[in-house]
Structure formats: C-alpha cells, structure tokens
DNA sequence: AATTTACCACTTTCTCCCACTTGTTGAAAA
DNA sequence: TTTTCAACAAGTGGGAGAAAGTGGTAAATT
C-alpha cells in the first residue's frame, strides 16, 4: 500500500454513519477497502488503519510475554480501544459510540489521511488543533527536521 | 483462532449477568463460543480465556516442577479463582461473585479483547489504568519495543 | 425454606441491507 | 456548439431483522 494522502470533510448522517469518501477508497487496494481498525489517538482524535496495516503492527505486539508487567501495560495502552469496523454496502462505517465521544464527533468530521492511517477528527477539534501554533510552523519544522542531513530531500518550504 | 480485538462496554443486569457482545462472539469459532475460563488478572481485573486457549496455558503451567517450592506457590496462585463459565441461552455469563468483587465490577464493565484473551475490567478501573502514565507512553513503547529489530515494522506513533 | 442459577418471554434499540434520489460524465442529435 | 438524455456513480433514507436490555418464573442447590 502506498502512502495515503488527503483531507476530507464528511458529514455523519442522523444515525451516526460516516461516509468514506470515494477519493480515499481509491487510494486503497480493493481488498483493503472493507475492513478497518479504529483506536484512540494521542490527541482528541481517532486513528483508523486498513486492517492489513493494523495486523502488521499488532502481530508483533501479540508476541509479547504478558507475564511481564511492563508488557501488559504497553499492550493495553497500545490498543487503546482498538475495534474492528466494516464499511456497509453503501460505503459507510458506523463508529463505536465510545470512540465518537472520545473524539467529540457529532455531525461533522474531518478525515485526514497520511502515511498508513486515516485520522478522524471532529471538525471543531481539527480546526482548533491546526490553528494553535500555526504561527510557529516554521519554527516547529526547524526543530523537527532541522538536524536531519539533507540527502536528496525534496524542499518543501 | 486468530488474535482477538475489540473494546466493548457492557452493562450487567440486576442479577450480575454479563452479556457477551455479538461482535466478540463472531471472532470465535462456533465451538469456542460457549465455554470460557475466568481467573484473576495481575491488575485489578479478570482474564477470560476460550476454554481451548486456557488448556494451552494450563498445560504449560503444569509442566513446572512441583518439587520446587516457588513453583508450587506460583501454580496455586495462578489457578486461584480459575473458574469455568458457560454462556446461557441468551448469550450471557454469570461470573462468580468473589471474582466480581476482586475486579471491583458493579454495574458497568469493559471487555477488552487482545491476543488470546478477554480482559474484564470495571469501567472505573479501566479508565484509571488507561489514564495513569499516559504521557509516558512513548518512553514505555521504547522500553518494550525498542530492542526489537525493525524489520518492516509499521510506525504507530 | 431461602438463595442461587437456569430458562423463557418480551420490549427496545441498533445494525445491516435494500431501494431511491441526486449528481456527474459522456455521447449523440439538433 | 449547445442541449438533452442516458448511464453510472455517489449519496441519502427507511425498514426488517438481529442484538441488547429487562423482567419474571421454575428448578436446583445449600
């Protein structure tokens, strides 16, 4: 699977179902358009992974020895609500209510795809997050990327 | 049996019976949907295993040399409270009261499935556990997963 | 006999499936 | 060249059936 990309604004219908934009589906191989795994993200947002991507991650996690306390803690926090979701015949997904509440999603959501995941935000939280520290983006970029040697890297400034 | 996954919020009825969510049952082969073994977890929580999984674990434990004092102690404590439970006709299980008390489960429970088990938490304890040290997750992840060679490992940060 | 457990019946809620509406694209004819 | 219609895809809504939730009674165990 290539890296995902795109930002999509979606409305939930009255039953809380979320349409997966066709533009996003097209980026995924046919076999990976049906099943996803959603869990809580670090910010007030959810992360959704195509099932295969999730399996790559979790197969390693599941090999940890659970008699070790630290491993138990890690496994639990790593999963953090991870739940399988499936798109219905009309290309919609129904997210568990507990996760919707966590992310504060009501009517409007933003799907923000990058690398191997799709982040799901409430529109309000997304705008807030992107607004905060918007001024300092240049400074942040320097902090994060400034020390990486510039081998054939594309200039994105 | 594939790895289990999912977080489910369940209410107990007034008789203390716990509904097994259908989403969880679907993950188990038909033959393993009826009988489970529950015992005390290391945290303030219970672990429930499909019977076959329990047998695997139990056979490992039974290989320990019981002439060793430490082993005897471990085996006793590990089996302490282990109880076979069966799903009733309406898809519910009745957990022994002593175990419910141990886990502090009253009305609301969280079923948290991963690898080969289903952890049963009181909602309050679960929230507390997930909240504690949430900031240090990155450090924990490094400690636990940091030494594993990074072969095609997916990024989950 | 009292308490616990198993079994059965019913209501409400939710989920999945199907059918319909809307929108878009492309081709053909005026 | 423009307009119209057809065909398909995208998006919306509703309804049937399954699952969740509730309660009660009979049976069994102590």
DSSP assignment string, A31-66 = GGSSEEEEEE-SSSSEEEEEHHHHHHHHHHHTTS-T
- What is the per-residue pLDDT for A16? 87
Tell whether the model's pLDDT for residue A15 goes beyond 90: no
Q: Which of B3, B77, B114 to mutate to test the interface with A (most CBs of A within 10 A)?
A: B114
Q: Which of A44, A57, A70, A78 to mutate to test the interface with B (most CBs of B within 10 A)?
A: A78
Q: What percent of chain A has pLDDT over 90?
A: 46
Under a CB-based contact definition with an 8 Å cutoff, are residues A121 and A18 in contact? no
* Residue A115 phi, psi (nearest 5): 45, -115
Question: Which CATH entry fits the domain spanning A4-51+81-145: 3.40.50.300, 3.90.245.10, 3.40.1550.20, 3.30.465.10?
Answer: 3.40.1550.20
Q: How confident is the model at residue A24 (pLDDT cuts 50, 70, 90)?
A: confident
Provide mean pLDDT across the span A2-8. 85
Distance B44 CA to D28 C1' (A): 32
- What is the per-residue pLDDT for B153? 46
Q: Are B130 and A76 in contact (CB < 8 Å)?
A: yes
- What is the per-residue pLDDT for B133? 84
- What is the per-residue pLDDT for B157? 52
- What is the per-residue pLDDT for A23? 85
Helix (H, G, I), strand (E, B) or coil at A138: helix
B86: which strand partners? B35
- What is the per-residue pLDDT for B151? 47
- What is the per-residue pLDDT for B156? 55
Tell whether the model's pLDDT for residue A7 goes beyond 50: yes
**Domain coordinates in residue numbering, chain A:** 4-51+81-145
A122: which strand partners? A109
The angle subtended at Cα B38 by Cα B33 and Cα B40, nearest 5°, is 155
pLDDT tens digit sequence for A101-151: 999 998 889 999 998 899 999 999 999 988 887 778 888 888 888 887 776
- What is the per-residue pLDDT for B155? 52
Give pLDDT tens digits along chain B (157 positions): 789 999 999 988 888 899 999 999 999 988 888 899 999 999 999 999 999 999 999 999 989 999 999 999 999 988 888 999 999 888 899 999 889 989 999 888 999 999 999 999 999 999 999 999 888 888 898 888 887 665 444 455 5
Interface of B to A at Cβ within 8 Å reads: 3, 5-7, 9, 23, 42-43, 112, 114-115, 119, 129-130, 133-134, 137, 140-141, 143-145, 148, 152-156
- What is the per-residue pLDDT for B128? 94
Q: What percent of chain A has pLDDT over 70?
A: 94
* DSSP single-letter state for residue A87: B
Per CATH, the number for B4-145 is 3.40.1550.20
- What is the per-residue pLDDT for A152? 56
- What is the per-residue pLDDT for B45? 94
E-only strand ranges, chain A: 4-11, 17-19, 35-40, 46-50, 83-86, 92-94, 108-115, 117-122
């Amino acid at each position: 699977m290539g890296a995902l990309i795109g930002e999509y604004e979606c409305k939930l219908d009255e039953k809380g179902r979320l349409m997966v934009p066709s533009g996003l589906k097209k980026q995924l191989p046919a076999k990976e358009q049906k099943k996803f795994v959603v869990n809580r993200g670090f910010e007030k947002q959810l992360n959704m992974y195509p099932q295969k991507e999730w399996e790559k991650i979790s197969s390693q996690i599941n090999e940890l020895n659970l008699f070790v306390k630290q491993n138990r803690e890690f496994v639990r926090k790593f999963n953090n609500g991870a739940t399988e979701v499936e798109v219905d015949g009309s290309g919609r997904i129904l997210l568990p209510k507990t996760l919707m509440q966590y992310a504060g999603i009501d009517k409007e959501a933003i799907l923000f795809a990058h690398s191997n995941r799709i982040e799901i935000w409430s529109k309000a939280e997304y705008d807030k997050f992107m607004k905060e520290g918007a001024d300092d983006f240049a400074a942040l970029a320097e902090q994060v990327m400034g020390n990486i040697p510039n081998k054939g890297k594309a200039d994105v400034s």
